[in-house]
């Protein structure tokens, strides 16, 4: 029998795995993702492609769908009674739940549309979210600076040939696929596990000349294949959307890497800790994998600011450990 998201969450509440507020919040994310999916699906027909003519807090040019998706996400969760505040990659500062809505016990951070460079070419994109407990008192940017280890739930929605909601509330990773005929998310995979070893890696090779020595050396050894020091052949993949890269790792293993590079040496990495690295690392660890900056677990980092960036190496445990060994050597 097919299990809907609503049935799954109701059972989780009844079994005291989550509370009703967290259930309502995940349900709201699922519901708003259908609106984003509709905009993505219609693309040029809905006039949502192209640039918005604005920049986000990181100084990146926003696409129209970035702005639209952010608005859909905010309006989709603020009324739930589950959140005290929210923070987005597309907003300078956090947003406190408006006074006309009940204040909830959770904070939610999100990247409303990951992989913006793929929007206009109809390649996979997604939405990433992270949920933590809200502190007592006034909600400020500092309220969100909680180590990823303390997340109570995290997940993503991938908009592709299938629309897939993947999440965890600390009891393993589950995947739901959107039935476009009924509008229901249906459970299609549970207890997702990542093999400890792999022969597949994902990294943007065009940046190799900019990487630090340990990453250059590691990738050089990957490319050396069976005759090199690692003794096996590796395949490379690159989709240029973290949601798609992590989804592939969860489905068939591998390692995904987005290291520091010297084009902006003052910037620790490219990916954002709060909106991308923490939620994805939570999923990866829940699936038996590992996630590291190259020098330690991402989930153990104490965030210093809302839009902090970090280097990311995540996926098969043995390969992530190997990356850390290369960093130690240098």
Binding positions are: 89, 111, 113-117, 204, 270, 276
Strands (E), the chain: 51-55, 61-63, 83-88, 95-96, 106-114, 125-133, 153-159, 163-168, 174-178, 185-189, 200-202, 235-237, 255-258, 271-272, 290-292, 309-310, 312-315
Q: Would you list the DSSP string of 19-47?
A: -HHHHHHHHHHHHHHHHHHHHHHHGGGGT
> Which segments are annotated as binding site for Mg(2+)?
89, 111, 113-114, 276
Tokens of 93: 């500062």
Q: How far apart are alpha carbons 173 and 7 in whole angstroms?
A: 16
Q: How far apart are alpha carbons 129 and 258 in whole angstroms?
A: 19
Pairing of strands 51-55, 255-258: unpaired
> Which segments are annotated as binding site for substrate?
114-117, 204, 270
Burial letters 199-217, b for 16+ CB under 10 A, else e: bbbbbeeeeeebbbebbbb
- CB-based contact 153:167 (threshold 8 Å): yes
Tokens of 218: 């590691």
- Short-list 223, 245, 310, CA closest to 274: 310
Q: How far apart are alpha carbons 175 and 171 in whole angstroms?
A: 13
Tokens of 244: 């798609």
């Amino acid at each position: 029998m097919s299990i809907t998201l609503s049935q799954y969450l109701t059972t989780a509440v009844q079994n005291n795995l989550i509370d009703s507020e967290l259930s309502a919040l995940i349900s709201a994310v699922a519901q708003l993702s259908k609106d984003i999916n509709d905009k993505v699906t219609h693309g040029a027909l809905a006039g949502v492609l192209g640039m918005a003519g604005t920049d986000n807090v990181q100084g990146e040019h926003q696409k129209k769908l970035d702005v639209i998706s952010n608005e859909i996400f905010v309006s989709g969760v603020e009324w739930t009674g589950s959140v005290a505040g929210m923070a987005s990659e597309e907003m300078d500062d956090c947003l406190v739940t408006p006074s006309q809505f009940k204040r909830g016990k959770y904070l939610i951070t999100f990247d409303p549309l990951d992989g913006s460079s793929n929007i206009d070419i109809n390649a996979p994109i997604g939405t990433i979210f992270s949920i933590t407990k809200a502190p007592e008192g006034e909600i400020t940017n500092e309220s969100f600076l909680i180590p990823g280890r303390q997340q109570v739930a995290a997940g993503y929605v991938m908009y592709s040939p299938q629309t897939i909601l993947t999440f965890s509330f600390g009891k393993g990773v589950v995947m739901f696929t959107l039935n476009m005929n009924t509008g229901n998310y249906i459970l299609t995979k549970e207890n997702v596990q990542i093999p400890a070893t792999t022969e597949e890696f994902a990294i943007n090779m065009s940046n190799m000349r900019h990487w630090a020595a340990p990453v250059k050396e590691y990738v050089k050894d990957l490319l050396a294949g069976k005759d090199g020091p690692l003794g096996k052949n590796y395949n490379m993949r690159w989709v240029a959307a973290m949601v798609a890269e992590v989804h592939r790792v969860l489905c068939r293993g591998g390692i995904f890497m987005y290291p520091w590079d010297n084009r902006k040496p003052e910037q620790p990495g490219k990916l954002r800790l709060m909106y991308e690295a923490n939620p994805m690392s939570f999923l990866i660890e829940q699936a038996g994998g590992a996630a590291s900056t190259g020098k330690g677990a991402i989930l153990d980092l104490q965030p210093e600011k809302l839009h902090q960036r970090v280097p990311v190496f995540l996926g098969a445990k043995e390969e992530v450990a190997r990356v850390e060994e290369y960093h130690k050597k240098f």
